[in-house]
Chains A and B, each alone.
Chain A
């Protein structure tokens, strides 16, 4: 049955496997692909994951496509040219040696955990300290899994899904964000190392909030995550990504792809709290967060809601979007983007109204401090068949200090005269009299800034699941510490 090409692939994989064996197995800490990006790298990753051939072919097709593509330059962000051959595309962080005690962990990191109010056991888990003795994460994960199994919900690492549910993965992978979508999405398609797969069957209301938090030990997320969430007819799922703990990633580029599919009468709520390393006060280091997230309201009366709290990363390039294909479908985007010091954020959403009576709502709160630049970039597009489409957009910017910038770039396209599109935008500063009032009542400066900014962001924070709203509030404060001189 095997074609010559497939045989060749297998041989190539075997060969790389051997290389790997000699080069790396002796030293577990170095569980990495060879530096650089080539078809071999792609094969290496696929082999590491024990993937079927169709998956490898899919990756290789993406890689070949990527070679013909150019990095997008339209965002209002500036960074030195990335050398894609100077990176590692596969590093298994699982094998990083566990630290024996918290004494070995960067005290700055622990300070942040403490401020976030993360319990000690979890602090240890997040910082990569051996926690088996004190924190039985395995049992937590097990009870969790049993409950989901009962409901018929699939929630697993995507590499596991490719193995165990190939038909489901094939049916949805790349159908929302096509392989050819954009430079970073195509790169992700070629080299994604892991991510999450969720399938909620017909009529099922997922019995709990799903979160990567719970599987922190089960499967560490890599640089190039690929996440697919499918809500079948009449189902509901709420998913939270990120665990609000700073991840000091040594690698610079983070290019994830998230695809959501909501069928008839289904609803997906996707919340992100992003707190990647933003670089230091002088703009050194930090993550480039170039992420493609898109939801497809494929069925009638379906709903997809994005909520994001973006406080980290040196550069954020991210536009979680909704394709409102089904009639009466609803898309929502609630965003808080905080940029301090030298951070640059270019973020927003796209609401593509294809179906009739579709509705979208965009609430964006941008906060700039230090020398940061914060851009809201959004597109509301109403197609010819989307009669009675409705959109409401509200973009508020808050400036702290005089050296930062806020920009709003809304694009609106309407090809249907019955559409109604509303756009409101405001820009304000934290007023000196507000700060003085707080100080006079005994509230120290940093706490006052946090209070005022949290008030400014309230409409978005309210959208977060309760337990994460509290952490997000604290995070807002922490990320702006010292922003008023």
Chain B
């Protein structure tokens, strides 16, 4: 589903990703772990198509198509979803209006007809219940005055609403207490399916106790420096990043 080959990405003049290779199949959940500044968020932005993240080398194939050639809104319509670390506030735009606008914009890009207000409302209500997102929250301006937990729940609600093929979760655990984390993780787990791939980006092992990945990649210095099964997370937790990253730098210098 997603084939990243030798990806080099610059932000301004600064190289951030330096030859990243990664492959994800439908139905799989992969985790990207790594210390601060290793390029985790850059990877998520470049997949989503944010301006200012320039690919200087390498390729990203998404279901056989060149992902980098698509504008961000088209990627969204084709099933790429990024749950953001810091969901933005849009004053004056109610959450419900935003969801309806986004849902119908995606449908239009795919050549489908708009859902009417009642259709969207029904759909959102059905999905919102499971994530403990209240009617009242949907009436408030998007993310304005939301708590950290509310913001993240709303991200997962959108994921459930848009039914992406590739969901990228960028530091979804940041700013959450353990109860909020469990709720969000349950929401994510409920969306695991044989057709859907997920890329979970996190600094800490703790999220992976709840969202158990099929495969873990350790990102450092813009490259994957270690890979393994879910037990790799425990090793990282026990020994720290330095252990693995350090080994790698020795390997490279050797």
Contact = CB atoms under 8 A, between A and B. Distances in A.
Contacts of B76: 439-442
A444 B106 CA distance: 9
A458 B105 contact: no
Contacts of B101: 443, 447, 451
A225 B96 CA distance: 42
Given A441-B105, A442-B102, 9 more contacts: A433-B86, A434-B88, A439-B71, A442-B73, A443-B105, A444-B105, A447-B105, A451-B90, A456-B91
Contact of A441 (B92, B97, B162): B162
B54 to A, nearest CB: 15
A457 B93 CA distance: 10
Interface stretch (B32-40, B43-51, B181-189): B43-51
A432 interface: yes
A455 interface: yes
Given A439-B49, A440-B48, A442-B109, A455 B92 contact: yes
Contacts of B89: 434
A451 B92 CA distance: 9
Given A441-B162, A442-B77, A454 B88 contact: no
Interface of B: 48-51, 71-73, 75-77, 81-82, 84, 86-93, 97-98, 101-103, 105-106, 109, 141, 158, 162
Contacts of A451: 90, 93, 97-98, 101
Contact of B88 (A431, A444, A447): A431
A440 B87 contact: no
A436 B73 CA distance: 9
Bin the interface of chain A by size: 20 to 34
Nearest to A445: B73
Tell me which of B48, B49, B72, B91 has the highest count of chain A C-beta atoms within 10 A of its own C-beta: B72
Interface in A450-475: 451-452, 454-459
B73 A437 contact: no
A442 B81 CA distance: 9
Nearest to B78: A442
A27 to B, nearest CB: 50
A451 B142 CA distance: 11
A123 B89 CA distance: 38
Contacts of A438: 90, 102
Interface in A418-443: 431-434, 436-443
Interface in A201-258: none
B72 A436 contact: yes
A433 B72 CA distance: 13
